[in-house]
Amino acid sequence: MEGYSRTQPEIGVDLGSLRDAIIEEYKAVAQDPQQGFHFNTGRRLTQLVGYSDELLEGIPESSIAAFAGTGNPFSLGPIAPGENVVDVGSGAGIDSLIAARMTGPAGNVVGVDMTAEMRDRARNAAAEAGLGNVEFKDGYAESLPVPDGWADVVISNGVLILLPDKIAALAAMYRALKPGGRLQIGDILVQVQVPEEAKLEIDLWTG
C-alpha cells in the first residue's frame, strides 16, 4: 500500500452514529456478558472458533467470558518471543493476553479498542494474569495509536466486519507493521454483494 491514497467511501450510514451503536453493544457485553446477545460470546465461542485449552491456559475467566470474536488469529501462526504486537479491536483482551504470554517479557503488546468498558475489563484481566508487557489504548482501527513500523505482528478478530472503510483499516495496519511484518486476521467473509439498503441499517452493522 505504499503511496496509497483514496477518498472517503460513500458508506451511507453515519460513521459517528455507527461507532456509537457499536460502543453501546460491546459496552453491554463488557458489563454483563451472560445476558445473551444475537451473537455468541464467552468460553463456548472460543471452542467454536478453535481456541485450545493450552492456548487459553492462564487467561482470566473475566476476559474469556466477554470474548466476542469471529475467529482465531493464532491459527495463522504463533507470536515469537520478543515480538511487538498490535491487537486491533482488542475487546476484553483475550487475544492481547495470549500474545503477551507468547512474546514474553522481551516483547510488547498494544491492544486498541474504542469501548472504555472493554479496555477496563482487559486491563483488569492483564493485572490478574500478572502480564506487565501489555497495555490497552483508546483508538480506532482506521487510525491506530502506534508509531509507524513498530509492530512485528498485527492481529485482529471480528473487527473488519464492523467497519465501513475496511481499506482504511488495512492501510493503518500496514503502516503499523515493520517491513516483513505479519497480519493475522480472524473475521467473517461475505462472498455476495450486500444490498445498498442493508448498508444503511445500523443494527445490521453491529453484529
Least confidently predicted of 14-23, 44-53, 118-127: 14-23
Question: In which band, very low, low, confident or very high, does the pLDDT at 38 lie, cut at 50, 70 and 90?
Answer: confident
CA distances from 117 to 67, 93, 122, 133, 171 (A): 13, 11, 9, 20, 27
Per-residue pLDDT at 87 exceeds 90: yes
d(CA 133, CA 144): 18
Per-residue pLDDT at 12 exceeds 90: no
Cell matching residue 202: 445500523
Cell matching residue 27: 459496552
d(CA 145, CA 130): 24
Count how many residues are written for the chain: 207
Least confidently predicted of 23-32, 60-69, 147-156, 190-199: 190-199
Residue-wise pLDDT tens digits, 160-203:
999 989 999 999 999 999 999 999 999 987 777 766 766 666 66
Per-residue pLDDT at 37 exceeds 90: no
Domains of the chain: 15-205 (3.40.50.150)
SS3 content of the chain, % helix, strand, coil (to 5): 40, 15, 45
Please tell me the predicted confidence (pLDDT) of residue 156.
Answer: 98
Question: In which band, very low, low, confident or very high, does the pLDDT at 54 lie, cut at 50, 70 and 90?
Answer: very high
Residue-wise pLDDT tens digits, 158-169:
999 999 899 999
